[in-house]
């Protein structure tokens, strides 16, 4: 990594911002400056970065000057307002929000798949949705070898995908339930929604708000973002996204139909060689990835690789990834490393 970059983080106090601050030194970034920004409510907070203590500033246009790269992770409206200001002031923006992902002139990048797209940026590179990143890393090696015809995915998503408040809600609900006390849910499936449901000892088949055709925004992201990342505008993808009472790391049950038969041995070999993928797949020893094991890991894990006997060119996969790390912060850092290497 090139030393001496001047780095900004907008949304430094959030889960992804905090993860960025852990990842940068662990990957050998020696920054010339790290400027932490967040909402005015968080301004003045002190955060530890290596041996230093840094003060969080309110994110404002003039504070975006004099930086080489700024990671945005404070929601789509903040990105829409401030990312263009940052670009105007000379920074490259790696945006973790959904604000620009589908803009035709904004690259949407998973480094293991399409790092070359990032190099054509006009100031902003978009980081995909977490569930999409995890699926894209696992499926790209199969797509390259045998062209994907169709993807049917069902997700098992951790509550931390809905923010720190959703994690706190799960734990508080579990505690209340065990004490036999009532608990009024207020965050999931999404904080701004009209109805909230318990997640403790439950699953909620809704992630984010509903959109066209009875699909949620999360489900549409998995369709449209995968198409853009893979440069396959017609790729057939259908998704059902579900919240489960897991604190961290998303799991995905993926059925993938290919243009030619790929047997389990070939699929395992392709995945073992693929960057960013780890194969954890040994039924005889009951080995497969699980979200508790995979939290804090950089790779996307693939297991339960099986021939789908209902379709001669299809496979079933079970994919797990840390959605805060590879699904967000790490992917953003990898994009920056690719641009500034």
Q: How far is the CB of 287 from a copy of itself (least distance, A)?
A: 8
Of 90-149, binders to a copy of itself (CB under 8 A) are none
- Is residue 203 involved in binding a copy of itself (CB under 8 A)? yes
Active site residue 121: no
Three-state helix/strand/coil letters over 55-83: ECEECCHHHHCCCCEEEECCCHHHHHHHH
* Residue 262 marked in a binding site: no
Q: Which tokens go with 132?
A: 């999409």
Shorter beta-carbon distance to a copy of itself: residue 64 or 229 = 229
Q: How far is the CB of 43 from a copy of itself (least distance, A)?
A: 33
* C-alpha–C-alpha distance, residues 257 and 236, integer Å: 10
- Is residue 171 involved in binding a copy of itself (CB under 8 A)? yes
Rounded to the nearest 10°, the torsion over CA 315, 268, 26, 30 is -90
Size of the site for a copy of itself (CB under 8 A): 60
Interface residue with a copy of itself, options 24, 106, 314, 335 (CB under 8 A): 314
Active site residue 130: yes
* C-alpha–C-alpha distance, residues 174 and 160, integer Å: 15
- Which of 65, 71, 68, 4 minimizes the C-alpha distance to 38? 71
- Is residue 316 involved in binding a copy of itself (CB under 8 A)? yes
Interface residue with a copy of itself, options 192, 214, 265, 341 (CB under 8 A): 214
DSSP assignment of 159-207 equals: GGGG-HHHHHHHHHHHHHHHHT------SSS-TTSS-----TT--BS--
Kindly name the residue from 121, 143, 224, 250 that is annotated as catalytic.
250
* C-alpha–C-alpha distance, residues 341 and 336, integer Å: 8
Kindly name the residue from 121, 130, 143, 224 that is annotated as catalytic.
130
| Phi, psi for residue 255 in degrees, rounded to 5 | -105, 120
Q: How far is the CB of 44 from a copy of itself (least distance, A)?
A: 31
* Residue 15 marked in a binding site: yes
> Which region, judged by CB under 8 A, interacts with a copy of itself, from 67-75, 95-103, 118-126, 242-250?
242-250
Q: Is residue 15 within 8 Å of 163, Cβ to Cβ? A: yes
List, as residue ranges, the binding site. 13-16, 101, 157, 160-161, 243, 323
List the catalytic residues. Answer: 130, 250
Please report, as ranges, the residues that interact with a copy of itself according to CB under 8 A. Answer: 150-152, 154, 156, 171, 174-175, 178, 189, 193-195, 197-198, 201-206, 210, 213-215, 223, 236-238, 240, 242, 244-247, 251, 253, 255, 264, 283-286, 288-292, 303-311, 314, 316, 318
């Amino acid at each position: 990594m090139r030393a001496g970059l001047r780095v900004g983080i907008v949304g430094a106090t959030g889960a992804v911002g905090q993860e960025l601050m852990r990842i940068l030194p662990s990957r050998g970034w020696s920054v010339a400056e790290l400027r932490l920004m967040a909402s005015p409510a968080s301004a003045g907070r002190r955060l530890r970065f290596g041996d230093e203590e840094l003060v969080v500033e309110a994110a404002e246009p003039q504070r975006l000057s004099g930086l080489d790269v700024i990671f945005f992770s404070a929601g789509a409206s903040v990105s829409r307002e401030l990312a263009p200001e940052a670009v105007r002031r000379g920074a490259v923006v790696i945006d973790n929000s959904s604000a620009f992902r589908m803009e035709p002139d904004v690259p949407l990048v998973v480094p293991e798949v399409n790092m070359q797209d990032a190099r054509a940026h006009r100031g902003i590179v978009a980081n995909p949705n977490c569930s999409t990143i995890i699926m894209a890393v696992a499926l790209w090696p199969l797509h390259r070898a045998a062209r994907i015809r169709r993807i049917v995915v069902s997700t098992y998503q951790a509550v931390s995908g809905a923010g720190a408040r959703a994690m706190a809600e799960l734990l508080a609900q579990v505690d209340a339930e065990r004490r036999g006390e009532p608990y009024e849910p207020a965050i999931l499936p999404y904080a701004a929604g009209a109805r909230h449901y318990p997640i403790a000892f439950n699953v909620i088949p809704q992630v984010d708000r509903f959109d066209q055709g009875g699909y949620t925004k999360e489900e549409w992201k998995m369709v449209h973002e995968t198409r853009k990342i893979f440069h396959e505008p017609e790729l057939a993808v259908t998704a059902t996204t579900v919240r489960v009472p897991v604190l961290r790391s998303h799991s995905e049950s993926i059925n993938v139909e290919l243009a030619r038969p790929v047997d389990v041995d070939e699929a395992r070999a392709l995945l073992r060689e693929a960057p960013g993928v780890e194969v954890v797949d040994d039924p005889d020893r009951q080995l497969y990835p699980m979200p508790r094991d995979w939290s804090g890991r950089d790779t996307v894990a693939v297991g339960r690789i099986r021939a789908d006997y209902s379709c001669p060119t299809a496979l079933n996969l079970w994919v797990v990834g840390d959605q805060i790390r590879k699904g967000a912060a790490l992917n953003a850092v990898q994009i920056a490393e690719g641009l500034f290497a």
